[in-house]
């Protein structure tokens, strides 16, 4: 790749010429067949180059110099959405077999031009390099999601969001239009949805999880909705940019806002005001035993399907709390009538009934991976968000899959240290983490891998009240994801990507798109070789090429400290501090990790209860790698158990005298992560009989504590054993004082230290 060409996503093939083309020499834009699709792309060329000259668009009448030719040819051998772009010293020829290919060829041309053209200004440099580019995407589904229920965004920002998707050669806009905090789409047959369900009490001055419920006689003023004309306007705007708009209408759960307008559709039949802030557990749900519910949903989907020409309809299906179904006489009768086993099969029956209607509209049903519960609808496409396993299960069953796991694709998570960032939902997903994503699980066969359509980035907006914040959440993480999905995971290095990124960031600035600077904190990670018991430390950053200075004596790094160049050998307890330095100045916070050497380090861990696949830490050595976590539960150092007790056994390989055991747990109550109610440790030499029990009871909990890591020690012990069993007793349910009272609690553990 020529260093003067910084294109993201990176094209498949670029052959550089010897000279350059003066854009001022271009006279006209020709459309080869004068088709509508060619005309649209020709218009994009015309608009971009307007500061240089107002170029006429004419029908092609033979190749000549000093022209741009836009040619759509279904018979040429170019993959779908691929293109050939040839820039000579006196002309430009763009060819593709699909309209999308023409549009993406223009996007590449756009990145070759001076960024001042984006703002309608005439740049000093109006030349672009001669080159021949052949390009096509790896994955056919390259999407971005936006939740407009938690916070409403007007049509102008929706168009800007689509422009952001288009610049990155992504092709799907997943529009999350309904949820507990507001209904956002006009349905002619049910006017109360926009009159009542689209509005809630304004509590935006309070933290999301602390917003109080409506008071009697308070008037809802916060919200909004899109008229059907506005929906059509957005769909047409997106279509010109080769973007498919997929609407999401949530069911059977995440539907409490509907009951502000039509309470009779719930199991209880009671009016519910639209909730401001966090609503959890969201027990209010469509009544699966009420036929009027299906009349309502089919009428809604009838209008939705006419507004959106995309072949998919997303019905949500996630986090459907079934407690009301268990109490509802109508739902229980439905279970008996349909010979269903339980409420999980009732949800499957519900989804399958909706699927039948969606198929009658010549569309396919898409849902979050919870639609797997109780049996998957025949033609459903699964969005796997709770990890990759839902996608694996679906692909193995022959279903199409779209990957969007919380580990890499949730852009409402922090992208830099929580200590220095605006409040986010939780977790930590850096730019580098996104770029490392591979949507295709290795355990799938080649045929099953073909069912992985691609992936998307998700932006939930609990902590995103403004367009500016929305842009900062997705940019430039969207940029990293776009290259993974277009060029293919692992094809280029993160360092290569990062070297090209500043050019695109400059374009964001010209377009007035806010973006995050990312994290300037460095990462300190273990590198343990099990075979030779060698322990090293790697120090990395998401900003390659910048110096990292470090110390191992506990002092703060300074200009004279060691420059990190290779993994650091560690042989005993060591505190490492490191920071990125640029231009001989500290640039970013000091990262600190203490490596705790103990008898447990690097030993095997048997999981009596397995952690959630959403929070696996860094793998099987997480609890015995000598490294402790931060207060961010998704930082890669914690393993999490939902509702289950933690129960693990550490094999020390030989019987040794054990004097002290330390273990640390995370408390992050707003994220439903609680300290265990008790810690139990026991010992064995045969892995069968465990005795010499030691117990710690944990009673004192301050409600709504800030996130913190708490260390618990058992000392002295004086027991000889080979196996050590640790059990942390999960609370199971959030306490009554908690905003999620009754919801499933988590326990998070980061390290077991045995001395």
**CA dihedral (647, 653, 656, 659) positive or negative:** negative
pLDDT of residue 383: 97
> How long a stretch of residues is the chain?
755
CA-based radius of gyration for the chain:
28
697-703 contacts: CB < 8 A, separation 24 or more? 701/674, 701/675, 701/735, 703/669, 703/735, 703/737, 703/738
319 is catalytic: yes
Residue 571 has pLDDT above 90, yes or no: no
**CA dihedral (253, 257, 260, 262) positive or negative:** negative
Enter the CATH code of domain 520-595.
2.60.40
Residue 600 has pLDDT above 50, yes or no: yes
Q: What pTM was computed for the model?
A: 0.87
For 586-607, the DSSP string reads: E-SPPEEEEE---TTTT-EEEE
pLDDT of residue 532: 67
For 687-732, the DSSP string reads: SS--EEEEEEE-----TTPPPEEEEEEE----EEEEEEEEEEE---
Q: How far is CA 589 from CA 127, 594, 636, in A?
A: 41, 16, 19
The mean pLDDT value of the chain amounts to 93
Other beta carbons within 10 angstroms of residue 417's beta carbon come to 18
In three-state secondary structure terms, 751 is: strand
341-349 contacts: CB < 8 A, separation 24 or more? 342/374, 344/373, 344/374, 345/374, 345/375, 346/288, 346/322, 346/374, 347/252, 347/288, 347/317, 347/320, 347/322, 347/371, 347/373, 347/374, 348/373, 348/374, 348/375, 348/376, 348/377, 349/288, 349/374
Q: What are the backbone angles phi and psi of residue 528, rounded to the nearest 5°?
A: -100, 125
Q: Give 3's pLDDT tier (boundaries 50, 70, 90).
A: very low
Is 596-755 a CATH 3.40.50.1100 domain?
A: no
Q: Characterize the bridge pairing of strands 28-31 and 13-22.
A: unpaired
Q: Which two tokens stand for residue 610?
A: 């397995």
Other beta carbons within 10 angstroms of residue 144's beta carbon come to 25
End-to-end CA distance of the chain: 53
Q: What is the pLDDT of residues 220-263, one digit of tens each?
A: 999 999 999 999 999 999 999 999 999 999 999 999 999 999 99
Please state the rounded mean pLDDT for residues 657-685: 93
Please state the rounded mean pLDDT for residues 461-465: 96
State the residue for tokens 């349905």.
187
Q: Which two tokens stand for residue 134?
A: 């052949």
Q: Give 2's pLDDT tier (boundaries 50, 70, 90).
A: very low
Q: Characterize the bridge pairing of strands 172-176 and 141-147.
A: parallel
Rounded to 5°, the CA angle 571-572-574 comes to 110
Q: What is the pLDDT of residues 88-117, one digit of tens each?
A: 988 999 999 999 999 999 999 999 999 999
Instruction: Report which of 373, 381, 376 is spatially closest to residue 400, judged by C-alpha positions.
Output: 381
Of the residues 176, 254, 515, 738, only one is catalytic, namely 254
Residue 584 has pLDDT above 80, yes or no: no
Other beta carbons within 10 angstroms of residue 266's beta carbon come to 23
Q: What is the pLDDT of residues 315-373, one digit of tens each?
A: 999 988 999 999 999 999 999 999 999 999 999 999 999 999 999 999 999 999 998 88
Please state the rounded mean pLDDT for residues 384-390: 92
Q: Give 25's pLDDT tier (boundaries 50, 70, 90).
A: very high
Q: How far is CA 401 from CA 147, 316, 361, 380, 626, in A?
A: 21, 14, 21, 9, 37
180 is catalytic: no
Q: Tell me, what DSSP letter sits at residue 173?
A: E
**For the chain, percent helix, then strand, then coil, each to nearest 5?**
25, 30, 45
Q: What is d(CA 180, CA 197) in angstroms, rounded to the nearest whole number?
A: 9
Instruction: Report which of 240, 324, 232, 247 is spatially closest to residue 284, judged by C-alpha positions.
Output: 324
Q: What is d(CA 550, CA 569) in angstroms, rounded to the nearest whole number?
A: 13
Q: Which two tokens stand for residue 167?
A: 């610049």
pLDDT of residue 618: 81
Peptide linkage before 9 cis (omega within 30 of 0): yes
Lowest mean pLDDT among 149-158, 274-283, 460-469: 274-283
Residue 375 has pLDDT above 90, yes or no: no
Enumerate the CATH 3.30.379.10 domain ranges in the chain, comma separated.
Answer: 13-135
Of residues 57 and 572, more confidently modeled: 57
Distance from chain centroid for Cα 177: 18
Buried b (16+ CB within 10 A) or exposed e, 331-368: bbebbeeeebeebbbbbbbbbbebbebbeeeebbbbbb
Enumerate the CATH 2.60.120.1190 domain ranges in the chain, comma separated.
Answer: 596-755
pLDDT of residue 530: 67
Q: What is the pLDDT of residues 137-149, one digit of tens each?
A: 999 999 999 999 9
In three-state secondary structure terms, 428 is: strand
Please state the rounded mean pLDDT for residues 171-199: 98
Enumerate the CATH 2.60.40 domain ranges in the chain, comma separated.
Answer: 520-595
State the residue for tokens 């929305």.
470
Please state the rounded mean pLDDT for residues 381-402: 94
Buried b (16+ CB within 10 A) or exposed e, 380-389: bbbbbbbbbb
Specify the CATH architecture of the domain 13-135: 2-Layer Sandwich (3.30)
Q: How many CA atoms lie within 13 A of 560 on its CB side?
A: 1
Distance from chain centroid for Cα 86: 36
Peptide linkage before 403 cis (omega within 30 of 0): no
Contact 143, 170 (CB under 8 A): yes
Q: What is the pLDDT of residues 476-528, one digit of tens each?
A: 999 999 999 999 999 999 999 999 999 999 999 999 999 998 888 888 888 77
693-701 contacts: CB < 8 A, separation 24 or more? 694/661, 701/674, 701/675, 701/735
Residue 464 has pLDDT above 60, yes or no: yes
Q: Tell me, what DSSP letter sits at residue 133?
A: E
Enter the CATH code of domain 149-386+394-400+452-465.
3.20.20.80
Of the residues 230, 319, 546, 586, only one is catalytic, namely 319
Share of the chain above pLDDT 70, in %: 98
For 360-407, the DSSP string reads: HTT-EEEEEGGGGTT---TT-EEEE-SSSHHHHHHHHTT--EEE--TT
254 is catalytic: yes
Contact 180, 253 (CB under 8 A): no
Q: What is the pLDDT of residues 26-40, one digit of tens each?
A: 999 999 999 999 999
- With 0-12 / 13-18 / 19 or more C-beta atoms within 10 angstroms meaning exposed / middle / buried, residue 253 is buried
Q: What is d(CA 591, CA 540) in angstroms, rounded to the nearest whole number?
A: 11
Q: What are the backbone angles phi and psi of residue 457, rounded to the nearest 5°?
A: -90, 135
Of the residues 179, 370, 483, 542, only one is catalytic, namely 179
Q: What is the pLDDT of residues 532-547, one digit of tens each?
A: 667 888 998 888 888 8
Share of the chain above pLDDT 90, in %: 76
Q: What is d(CA 286, CA 273) in angstroms, rounded to the nearest whole number?
A: 16
Q: What is d(CA 626, CA 632) in angstroms, rounded to the nearest whole number?
A: 18
List, in sequence order, the alpha helices (H) in 175-227: 192-195
């Amino acid at each position: 790749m020529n260093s003067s060409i910084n294109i993201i996503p990176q094209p498949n093939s670029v052959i550089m010429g010897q000279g350059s083309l003066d854009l001022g020499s271009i006279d006209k834009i020709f459309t080869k067949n004068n088709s509508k699709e060619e005309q649209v792309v020709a218009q994009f060329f015309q608009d971009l180059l307007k500061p240089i000259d107002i170029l006429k668009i004419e029908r092609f009448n033979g190749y000549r110099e000093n022209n741009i030719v836009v040619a759509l040819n279904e018979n040429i051998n170019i993959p779908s959405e691929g293109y050939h772009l040839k820039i000579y010293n006196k002309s430009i020829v763009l060819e593709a077999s699909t309209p999308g290919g023409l549009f993406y060829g223009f996007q590449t041309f756009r990145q070759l031009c001076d960024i001042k053209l984006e703002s309608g200004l005439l740049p000093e440099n109006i030349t672009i390099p001669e080159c021949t580019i052949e390009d096509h995407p790896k994955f056919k589904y390259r999407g971005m999601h936006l939740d407009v229920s938690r916070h409403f965004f007007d049509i102008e920002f929706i168009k800007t969001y689509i422009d952001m998707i288009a610049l990155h050669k992504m092709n799907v806009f997943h529009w999350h239009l309904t949820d507990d905090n507001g209904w956002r789409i006009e349905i002619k047959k049910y006017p109360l949805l926009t009159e009542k369900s689209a509005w809630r009490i304004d509590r935006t001055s309070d933290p999301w999880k602390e917003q109080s419920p409506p008071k009697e006689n308070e008037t809802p003023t916060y919200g909004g909705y899109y008229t059907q004309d506005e929906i059509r306007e957005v769909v047409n705007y997106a279509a010109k940019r080769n973007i498919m708009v997929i609407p999401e209408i949530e069911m059977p759960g995440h539907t409490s806002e509907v009951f502000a307008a039509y309470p009779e559709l719930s199991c209880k039949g009671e009016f519910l005001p639209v909730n401001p802030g966090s609503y959890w557990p969201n027990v209010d749900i469509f009544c699966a035993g009420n036929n009027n519910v299906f009349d309502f949903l089919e009428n809604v989907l009838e209008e939705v399907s006419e507004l959106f020409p995309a072949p998919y309809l997303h019905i949500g299906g996630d986090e459907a709390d079934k407690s009301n179904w268990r109490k509802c006489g109508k739902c229980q009768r439905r279970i008996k009538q349909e010979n269903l086993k339980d409420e999980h099969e009732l949800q499957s029956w519900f989804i399958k009934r909706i699927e039948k209607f969606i198929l009658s509209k010549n569309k396919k049903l898409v849902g979050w991976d919870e639609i797997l519960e109780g049996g998957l609808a025949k033609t459903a496409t699964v969005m796997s968000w709770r990890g990759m396993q839902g996608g694996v299960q679906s692909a193995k069953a022959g279903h199409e899959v779209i990957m969007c796991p919380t580990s890499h694709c949730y852009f409402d998570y922090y992208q830099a240290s929580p200590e220095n960032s605006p409040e986010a939902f939780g977790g930590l997903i850096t730019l580098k983490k996104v770029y490392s994503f591979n949507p295709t699980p290795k355990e799938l066969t080649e045929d099953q891998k073909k069912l992985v359509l691609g992936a998307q980035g998700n932006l939930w907006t609990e902590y995103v009240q403004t367009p500016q914040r929305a842009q900062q959440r997705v940019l430039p993480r969207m940029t990293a994801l776009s290259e993974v999905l277009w060029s293919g995971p692992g094809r280029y290095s993160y360092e290569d990507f990062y070297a090209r990124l500043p050019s695109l960031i400059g374009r964001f600035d010209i377009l007035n798109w806010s973006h995050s600077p990312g994290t300037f904190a460095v990462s300190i990670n273990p590198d343990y070789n099990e075979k030779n018991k060698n322990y090293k430390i790697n120090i990395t950053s998401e900003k390659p090429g910048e110096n990292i200075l470090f110390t191992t004596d506990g002092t703060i790094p300074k200009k004279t400290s060691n420059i990190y160049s290779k993994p650091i050998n560690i042989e005993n307890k060591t505190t490492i501090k490191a920071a990125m330095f640029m231009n001989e100045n500290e640039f970013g916070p000091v990262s600190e990790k203490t490596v705790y050497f103990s008898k447990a380090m690097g030993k095997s861990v048997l999981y009596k209860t397995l952690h959630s696949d959403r929070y696996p830490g860094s793998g099987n050595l997480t609890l015995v790698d000598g490294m402790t976590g931060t207060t961010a539960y998704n930082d890669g150092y914690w393993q999490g158990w939902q509702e289950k007790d933690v129960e693990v056994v550490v094999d020390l390989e030989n019987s040794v005298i054990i004097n002290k055991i330390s273990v640390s747990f995370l408390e992050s109550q707003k994220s439903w992560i609680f300290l265990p109610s008790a810690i139990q440790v026991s010992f064995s030499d045969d892995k069968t009989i465990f005795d010499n029990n030691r117990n710690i009871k944990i009673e004192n909990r301050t409600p709504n504590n800030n996130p913190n890591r708490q260390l618990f020690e058992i000392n002295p012990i004086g027991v000889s054993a080979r196996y050590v069993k640790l059990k942390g007793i999960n609370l199971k349910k959030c306490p009554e004082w908690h905003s999620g009272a009754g919801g499933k609690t988590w326990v998070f553990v980061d390290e077991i230290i045995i001395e």
